[in-house]
Amino acid sequence: MKDINYQILLVEDDHKIQEAIYDYLTVKSKGEFIITRAINVCQAEEALYEKVFDLILLDIMLPDGKGFSVCKTIRGKSEVPIIFTTARGHEEDKLYGYGLGCDDYIVKPFSLAELYAKTRALLKRSKGMVLEDRIRVGDISLSPRKMIVTSKDVEITLAPKIHMLLEYLMVHKQSVVTRDELLHRIWGYDFEGNERVVDNHIKKLRKALGSSGGQIKTIVTKGYRLDET
């Protein structure tokens, strides 16, 4: 079977951080990630003009502008996955980024392993591919294509929104997912309800999963995290 290579644009002006990300992703992916580097908005725009990318890792604060403007330009013509990598962790910045169309947001200092996991998950989803027919986290298994969920090998039925909620938590397993992120990802940016709807659906999901529902951890004042146990 022919090896698959993914073209990734890394936009980061801090040399040490850029090198660390480049080296880790290149080695971890065993050369599957072909990474083009840029240190500012100008270089990023030049790279985007010359090549088609499968994913973009985009810093927000750049010497000649903000990554927000690059994201906005990209979204005007492409649905390529975008992950913001930034030191700006304020909620309003995240919401603004999601509003522009970014797919994920990771705040510095971050785990390179987490960045790799998020990058690979987004690439597989955007290309319509899953490494296996099922995603498994602990005792919970989900088939994205067949819409089948099992808890301890017992098939369960979930309402569409709850299924989407579980899949999002599984793709981002062992990472804290905020209520705002879930609200915007599952219900959409124009949803007029509040965060209570997320809590209510999590409660229903836990009940449907039975004893496996304990894998969904509540992170006080933050949101939720799906663990292996």
Decide if pLDDT at 1 tops 50.
no
In the chain, what percentage of residues exceed pLDDT 90? 41
> Does 129 or 211 have the greater pLDDT score?
211
Confidence of residue 145 (pLDDT cuts 50, 70, 90): low
Confidence of residue 171 (pLDDT cuts 50, 70, 90): confident
Decide if pLDDT at 26 tops 80.
yes
- How many residues are recorded in the chain? 229
At 107, list the tokens: 């705040």
| CA proximity to 102, closest of 82, 122, 73 | 82
pLDDT at 38: 96
Contacts of 14 (CB under 8 A, 6+ apart): 59
| Average pLDDT, integer, range 92-99 | 79
pLDDT at 192: 62
pLDDT at 193: 64
Model pTM score: 0.56
Least confident range from 11-25, 92-106, 162-176, 193-207: namely 92-106
Distance, CA of 15 to CA of 126 (rounded, Å): 29
Decide if pLDDT at 211 tops 80.
yes
Q: Are 8 and 53 in contact (CB under 8 A)?
A: yes
> Does 77 or 31 have the greater pLDDT score?
31
| Average pLDDT, integer, range 153-159 | 92
pLDDT in tens, 33-58: 999 999 999 999 899 888 888 899 99
CA 77: distance to chain centroid? Answer: 21
pLDDT at 199: 93
Local structure of 188: helix, strand or coil: coil
pLDDT at 13: 93
Domains of the chain: 6-126 (3.40.50.2300), 135-226 (1.10.10.10)
| Residue 31 neighbours by CB distance under 10 Å | 10
pLDDT at 2: 40
Confidence of residue 3 (pLDDT cuts 50, 70, 90): low
Confidence of residue 129 (pLDDT cuts 50, 70, 90): very low
